[in-house]
Amino acid sequence: MNDTMLVRAEDVTKTFETGKLEVRALRGITLDIAAGEFLALVGPSGSGKTTLLNLIGALDRPTSGKLTVLGRDLAGMGKSERAQLRLTSLGFVFQAYNLVPVLTARENVEFVLELQGMASRERRDRSGAVLDELGLGELRNRRPREMSGGQQQRVAVARAVAARPKLVLADEPTANLDTENAQMLMGMMRRLRDDQGMTFLFSTHDHRVVDHATRVVTLRDGTVASDERPGVAAYRGAPPL
């Protein structure tokens, strides 16, 4: 596999069984993602965006096909190996934030850094810098219940990028943000890509994310309907997703 290719999906399918029903969420996805991409997955609700994100994030495994992430074939990895891959190389931004409610914003951002074994002072410096860049410095000692949804979303992003992972997977990262904060967030992510070589994969309905993307992949009914570079012009003017 080309060492610049972080993700390679070959005819990947994912089927869920609900009672007696079988739901085919992905129907033969073939997709490569190179290092340094800023890629937006778009498509109607139910098209398979979140399912594909979860597979690439080693949170689940394909039903069939081959999925290689950072040079590792997920089918051949056990639960602990996939957990280690997520800890050391992947960053996640979930729609539900998944912040630890008893921890402050700073402690939430430091959580992954502590699991990685980073020294206390370096953790504090790293988390403080990221929170400041996202305009959250004054909230560093607040717990999630003391923050708005948009503030919690930005803390979740800060946590995802603080460890400087190779690949960041973000599910609707701007869903609860106003325009100013959405632009701030996307600008920060672009700087991380440009300055530190992070790769970003977004699942989104938001044109404010797509407008920043260097590649737009449209999913429909669990398949790749289009793959555009840069894709932005093709997306603008299209009907709402």
**Overall number of domains in the chain:** 1
* Residue 210 in domain: yes
Structure token pair of residue 132: 């400041």
Q: Which pLDDT value is given to residue 3?
A: 57
pTM, two decimal places: 0.88
Residue with tokens 């999630």: 144
Residues forming a β-bridge with 72: 69
- CATH at 30: 3.40.50.300
* Residue 140 in domain: yes
Domain extent, residue 219, equals: 5-235
Q: Which pLDDT value is given to residue 230?
A: 65
* Residue 144 in domain: yes
Tell me the pLDDT of the chain (241 aa) as tens digits. Answer: 445 789 999 999 999 988 788 899 999 999 999 999 999 999 998 899 999 999 999 999 999 999 999 999 998 899 999 999 999 999 998 888 889 999 999 999 999 999 999 999 999 999 999 999 888 999 999 999 999 888 998 899 999 999 999 999 999 988 888 898 888 889 888 988 998 889 999 999 999 999 999 999 999 999 999 999 864 444 443 333 3
Largest CA distance in the chain: 53
Distance CA 7, CA 169 (A): 12
Q: Which pLDDT value is given to residue 220?
A: 95
Return the closest-CA partner of residue 159 out of 168, 147, 172, 146: 168
Residue 53 CA: distances (Å) to CA of 76, 104, 120, 131, 239 = 19, 27, 32, 25, 24
* Residue 241 in domain: no
* Residue 162 in domain: yes
Contacts of 81 (CB under 8 A, 6+ apart): 72
* Residue 183 in domain: yes
